[in-house]
Chains A and B, each alone.
Chain A
Amino acid sequence: MSTLIWVELQKIYKKWRTYIGFLAIGVLVPIVQIALYFTGEGYVKALTRNFQDSFIFVGNLFNGYLIGYLLLSSLFIHIPFLIVLVGGDILASEATAGTYRMLLTRPVSRLKVVTAKYISGIIYVATLLAFLALLSLGISCLVFGTGELISFRGKIIIFAADDILWRFAAAYGFALLSMSTVFALAFLFSSMVENAIGPIVASMAVIIILFILSALPIDFFKDISPYFFTSHMIQWDGFFHDPVDYKDIIESALIMFAHIVGLYLITTYIFIKKDILS
């Protein structure tokens, strides 16, 4: 299995498409960081304006943690669209290129092939998130320094500097679960067709539709939206609540995990039963 994963990682990381996500993050994050570098103090002042009369804010509130948090909040909704570029391509591109014929006439089971591709895809998701963390949190901390993290949720929450990093680690861990669910969806679509464009567009469409349905102020959709995986994707933010509602987070994590396993099982079934006609 390790050989197969090595092979699949070679294929993923030798394709230019893989780097679209890295490029997008690599361009967007520095742009936001540069903008905040020049205008960020004003941003914090605007946030704390209503409290200026009652509180005295001391220390470096405009720091790398705040920027890391802001970047994660704003980019998190867009990362899925970068993930599906690789997830939708991973199986369908083999059919398009005709390389299934080479790959599946080797002495390895289809179960191993599809599992290796799945694991490799999740490794890709992890590296993309690690890159986001490195750039948005790591570089921000280097440039803007560290300090307390201020958060507004109807009330002011200020996390002590030594109480923040574990929250980011947990948030990124949860993000990996969410993005793996998105990958699993694209991977499923990828197993069904022989062209990568279809799965990429279909995955994006499903995510957008679920987001829209969750946001509609209609009782019916409000009732069913807890079953949409998209409703649980933002639960990473729960780690920045005080106190952290672990029950909600675990419930969302289990729903994500069930999606990942379910989508994997369906994909595997389709892949094993598939006649290779390409």
Chain B
Amino acid sequence: MNLEKIIEVKGLTKNFRKLIAVNNLDLNVYSGDVFGFLGPNGAGKSTTIRMLLSLIKPTAGSIKIFGMSLKENREKILRKVGAIVEKPDFYMYLTAYKNLEILGKISGGDTSYKKIMEMLELVGLSKRAKSKVKTYSHGMKQRLGIAQALLHDPELIILDEPTTGLDPQGMKEIRDLILYLSKTKNKTIFLSSHILREVELIASRMIIINKGSTQVEGTVEELLNSDLMSVSVEVDRMDEAVKIIHESQWHEKLKNVNKKEMQFELSKEEISALNKFLVEKDFAVSAVVPVRSLEDYFLKITEGGDK
């Protein structure tokens, strides 16, 4: 695994007068990562992304990108960064082609007809290249946003909610594109999303923030497997099973019971042990369903943060 740090954030803080939007945030993104950046609304995600792109000046802390201080090497760094910040907004009175040409020229990238059309083709907009952006739907603008982020062939791509407003097919295409960019083109992706399933599907590492502070950081696999899972168990003779569970060591693990199922909080190893216990007591176990997902994890973490 290549452990070159692409983004290194230390003690990042942003205050808007009395409001602390980001509070002493640390994060690291490594080369080749698809890095999921999660948090509830108002957690400080967009403020952090704006600071990473020097749209906002931090109150305190340091940002290093490609090993260089953002404060001192802004232009050098941004030459290698492509980004969408929140919804992509364009010059509505210009065509998609002209928008890309203008933004590409400022970035110092290749703005030949071939290159621009290649980018529009990649996001499925080549046939509308000469249409003014004001005639575009939100989803089309989102695709154009991705095209402008990729136009100058950046090494790091920062995407803030890139699938917002897209239909399921469009969302899948963008997910596939992100995976393609990461795996085939070896780009590092910093992905903020409120669609947790999306992050679960494509991110290799992630951070969850709440109220401007880091809650957890690690690989998606580690975070999902390192903790207890909520497991739903269905058996025949439910009342009798509940009684036996209460008399056993599993009593402490039982969190909820209803007529249909018992809900436990178990580690991965404990799931099979519980199953074995129930079978040995002659119960017919019809379902053992781990309901652990990033969404549960996210809610648990952010609720914890609230407390």
Asked whether B105 lies within 8 Å of A105 as measured between CB atoms, the reply is no
Point out the residue from B81, B93, B98 that lies within 8 Å of A105, measured CB to CB: B81
Q: For residue A97, which residue of chain B has the nearest CB?
A: B89
Task: Report Cα–Cα, A4/B75, bound state, in Å.
Answer: 15
Contact: B102 with A10, CB < 8 Å?
yes
A3 touches B75 (CB 8 A): no
Q: A106 an interface residue at 8 Å Cβ cutoff?
A: yes
Bound-complex Cα distance A103 to B106 (A):
8
B277 touches A (CB below 8 Å) = no
Nearest B residue to A10 via CB reads B102
Q: Which residues of A contact B89 (CB under 8 A)?
A: 97-99, 101-102
Q: Is A162 an interface residue (CB 8 A)?
A: no
A107 lies within 8 A of B87 (CB): no
Name the A residues within 8 Å of B103 (CB-CB).
102-103, 106
A7-B105, A97-B89, A97-B91 known; A105+B56 contact, CB < 8 A: no
- The chain B residue with its CB closest to the CB of A109 is B75
With a CB–CB cut-off of 8 A, which chain B residues contact A209?
none
Q: Are B102 and A105 within 8 A (Cβ)?
A: no
Q: Is the CB of A275 within 8 A of B56?
A: yes
A161 to chain B, nearest CB (A): 46
Contact between B93 and A14 (Cβ–Cβ < 8 Å)?
yes
Shortest Cβ distance from B83 into chain A, in angstroms? 5
Contact at B86–A101, with CB atoms within 8 Å? yes
A99 CA to B91 CA, complexed, in Å: 7
The residue on B at minimum CB distance from A278 is: B89
- Of chain A, the residue at the smallest CB distance from B105 is A3
Interface residues of B, count at CB 8 A:
32
Chain A residue nearest to B87 (CB atoms) is A98
Neighbouring B residues of A99 by C-beta, 8 Å: 89-91
State which residues 93-119 of A face B: CB under 8 Å.
97-109
- Is A102's CB under 8 angstroms from B56's CB? no
Interface size on A, residues (CB 8 A): 26
B79 within 8 Å of A (CB atoms):
yes
- Are B91 and A106 neighbours in the complex by a CB distance under 8 Å? no
Interface membership of chain A positions 234-278, coded 1 if the CB is closer than 8 angstroms to chain B and 0 otherwise = 000000000000000000000000000000000000000101110
Which residues 72-127 in B have Cβ within 8 Å of A in the complex? 74-79, 81, 83, 85-94, 98, 102-103, 105-108
Task: Pick the most buried of B74, B78, B102: most chain A CB atoms within 10 A of its CB.
Answer: B102
Query: In whole angstroms, what is the CA distance A276 to B57 when docked?
Result: 9
- Judge whether B244 is part of the interface by a CB distance below 8 angstroms: no
| Interface membership of B53, Cβ < 8 A | yes
Q: Contact: B148 with A102, CB < 8 Å?
A: yes
Q: Is B60 an interface residue (CB 8 A)?
A: no
Residues in chain B near residue A98, CB distance under 8 A: 86-87, 89
Is A11 among interface residues, defined by CB-CB distance under 8 A?
A: yes
Whether a CB of chain A sits under 8 angstroms from the CB of B55 is yes
Query: In the assembled complex, which residues on chain B have CB atoms less than 8 Å from the CB atom of A108?
Result: 75, 106
Q: Mark A1-15, 1 if CB is under 8 A from B, else 0.
A: 001101100110011
Given contacts A98-B87, A277-B56, contact A106 B106 (CB under 8 A): yes
Q: Which residues of B are in contact with A by a Cβ distance under 8 Å?
A: 50, 53-57, 74-79, 81, 83, 85-94, 98, 102-103, 105-108, 148
Which residues of A line the B interface, CB within 8 A? Answer: 3-4, 6-7, 10-11, 14-16, 97-109, 273, 275-277
Listed by A's residue number, 27 A-B pairs whose Cβ atoms lie within 8 Å are A3-B106, A6-B105, A7-B106, A10-B98, A10-B102, A14-B91, A16-B93, A97-B91, A98-B86, A98-B87, A98-B89, A99-B89, A100-B55, A101-B89, A102-B89, A102-B103, A104-B55, A105-B83, A105-B85, A106-B78, A107-B75, A107-B77, A107-B107, A107-B108, A108-B106, A276-B55, A276-B56
4 new A-B contacts, CB < 8 A, other than A97-B89, A104-B53, are A14-B98, A102-B90, A105-B54, A107-B75
